[in-house]
Amino acid sequence: MRHTERGTAAVVAGDPAPTNAVIRTVNADERAARAVANAGEPTLEFADRTPYDAYVHASTLHTLQQTLSKDPGEMSFLMTSQIMELYFGLTCFELRETRERLRDDDVWGALPSLRRAALHLEGLNAAWHGLRWMTPADFNKFRDLLGEGSGFQSAMYRQLEFLLGLKTASLVRPFRRQPAVYEALVDALHAPSLWDEVLVLLDRRGFALPAALLDRDLTEPAEPDPAVELAWVEIYRDTGPDNHLRMLGEALAEVGEQFGDWRYQHLKATQRAMGAKAGTGGSGGVAWLQRSMARTVFPELWSARTLM
């Protein structure tokens, strides 16, 4: 099960990484001296682009909204989609960090990034609010111009699903003509998910899990197992402050709940904007999303609660 992932970094388009020639380190003493010299006013003159833009690349970000129609509502649709892509990438980053800490048997060290991931998912969910104005008439003004473009084709969302343990090998196929994106997805498909690392951790901590579960084909999702369920029941019996595994379970539950909320809000936004029409990318639209929602993230973490 201890496979090595060849590449997990996100494929990012845009400006190159900032260099030391643009962003100069400034310590606390220098900042204080500058504030005195400026009499408390902000610095207004710079030799090059502003340090903020050199770091955030805001001027690049604001060139990426290239709408296909003259309808003003399309900008909301496009930018909200881009915001969600950024949140997908950020959440993946945090979950990979969590996975690495668990591989090192550092449960306490894994908690901060896992909790941040839950907060990022909360921000992702809030992004749906910007599309609550969109009725079918609004969407129809520019929908045809999208061609076969669909959120179903988000590579970073697939990365997120794979990290959470929702593996489906066929879903890497749309990216065959994008070599770097495709390779990263194949790597993620074959690598242990975060949930896989949790299972290994539980086995390592003395909760004997079936070998067939730990040594299975990692391109397939882990089937719910009673031994995993009983392990969580035992973990949750200890409510003491030093039970890091229980803290891990609660942090995982928050991530799973926020991710489930995102999928539900996706379903509701789709129903609001297009009813039961076929999806732009060829899927059944609402029917496809309803089937997807049936796949639970971290299933034994939820079913164990019935036995507690």
Averaged pLDDT in 10-residue chunks for the chain of 308 residues: 40 43 79 86 87 93 96 96 97 98 98 98 96 94 89 92 95 95 97 98 96 95 95 97 97 97 90 77 68 86 96
Q: Is 164 helix (H, G, I), strand (E, B) or coil?
A: coil
pLDDT at 170: 93
Distance CA 162, CA 191 (A): 9
> Taking a C-beta distance cutoff of 8 angstroms, is the pair 187, 167 a contact?
no
Distance CA 113, CA 99 (A): 10
Distance CA 247, CA 265 (A): 27
> Taking a C-beta distance cutoff of 8 angstroms, is the pair 253, 301 a contact?
yes
Tokens of 25: 């380190």
Distance CA 145, CA 38 (A): 51
Pure H helices in 7-61: 28-37, 51-56, 58-61
pLDDT at 292: 75
Distance CA 249, CA 254 (A): 9
Residues in the chain: 308
Name the strand (E) or helix (H) holding 290: helix 286-293
Whole-model pTM above 0.85?
yes
pLDDT at 283: 59
- CA Rg value for the chain: 22
CA within 13 Å, CB half, 166: 19
pLDDT at 48: 87
> Taking a C-beta distance cutoff of 8 angstroms, is the pair 124, 251 a contact?
no
Tokens of 128: 């749906």
| Chain CA centroid to CA 75, Å | 23
Q: Which long-range contacts (CB under 8 A, 24 or more apart) does 246-250 make?
A: 247/107, 247/111, 248/107, 248/110, 248/111, 248/114, 248/198, 249/301
pLDDT at 284: 60
| Torsional sign, CA 122, 253, 265, 280 | positive
Query: Could you say which DSSP state residue 117 is in?
Result: H
Distance CA 146, CA 131 (A): 17
pLDDT at 149: 85
Q: Is 128 helix (H, G, I), strand (E, B) or coil?
A: helix
